[in-house]
Amino acid sequence: MFVKLYASMYDGTLARRGPWEALVTFQQLLILCDRFGVVDIHPEVISRRTLIPLEVLEKGIAHLLKPDPESRRSDEDGRRIVPIDAGRAWGWRIVNYSHYRAMRDTDERREYQRNYMRKKRADKAAPVVEPVKKIQKKPDLSAAFQEFYAAFPRKVGKRDAEKAWRALAPDDELAQKIVAAAKAYCASRRGQDRQYTKFPGSWLNARRWEDEMATPREELSNGEALLGAV
């Protein structure tokens, strides 16, 4: 369907003076025409497709081919349709098709504009919801960290050590291993030059507890014994 049917069609001469077959037929031709307003279809096919009796369509077509001096438009002397080929009895062009097509396009533009403005007002009225920012909570420093820092041989850079501990976020098992390694490192640094003792934060970042944990217990015990003898 390329055009809309309007209620104003019932105010014209087709509705006022008839015959009614002409109005019904004209409506079907408007529905069946192509985008150029041409209906290149035999009346028998139109009858089969629309279920309108063939005699109704033939009577309507005959009237639509006649001039209408009271037509609102003077094209083709008021005729509604004209043959597309004088050599055959079927196939027509709707004279004022562009007029009906323009009416449809105007209505569509108005409907589009109404919908656009309706949506724009709705969007403007809708509250703006700011996305909820997730606040990342810093993990609590456990008692294990306090024990680690107390055991470490060099009490400097506590803030950096706290940051390194939070980054590691050790579970209880790992925290116990780190504390044990810190105590072993403290024992190994007894009597040593303090300036060569690592900061607790850098010791954590370098994962030096893994080195301490890898040291054989017997070797560590012998080292502690030697330091005690000094």
Write out pLDDT tens, residues 161-196.
888 888 888 888 888 888 899 888 888 888 888 878
pLDDT at 159 over 80: yes
Question: What is d(CA 85, CA 83) in angstroms, rounded to the nearest whole number?
Answer: 5
Helix orientation angle between 172-188 and 217-229, rounded to the nearest 10 degrees: 40
The band of 213, judged by pLDDT with boundaries at 50, 70 and 90, is confident
For the chain, the structural domain boundaries read 7-101, 143-229
Take residue 1 and report the two structure tokens written for it. 């369907």
pLDDT at 229 over 90: no
Task: Give the pLDDT confidence of 81-95 residue by residue, as tens digits.
Answer: 999 988 888 999 999
Mean pLDDT of the chain: 79
Rg (CA), the chain: 48
Q: Which of 108-122, 136-150, 209-223 bottoms out in mean pLDDT, i.e. has the lowest?
A: 209-223
| Structure confidence at residue 5 (pLDDT) | 60
145, 165 contact by CB (below 8 A): yes
The whole-model pTM stands at 0.42
| Structure confidence at residue 44 (pLDDT) | 95
Cα-based distances in Å from 44 to 61, 82, 152, 186: 12, 18, 104, 107
Check whether the bond before 53 is cis (ω within 30° of 0): no
220, 184 contact by CB (below 8 A): yes
Question: What is d(CA 192, CA 226) in angstroms, rounded to the nearest whole number?
Answer: 12
Task: Give the pLDDT confidence of 38-84 residue by residue, as tens digits.
Answer: 999 999 999 999 999 999 999 999 999 998 877 766 677 888 899 99
pLDDT at 11 over 80: no
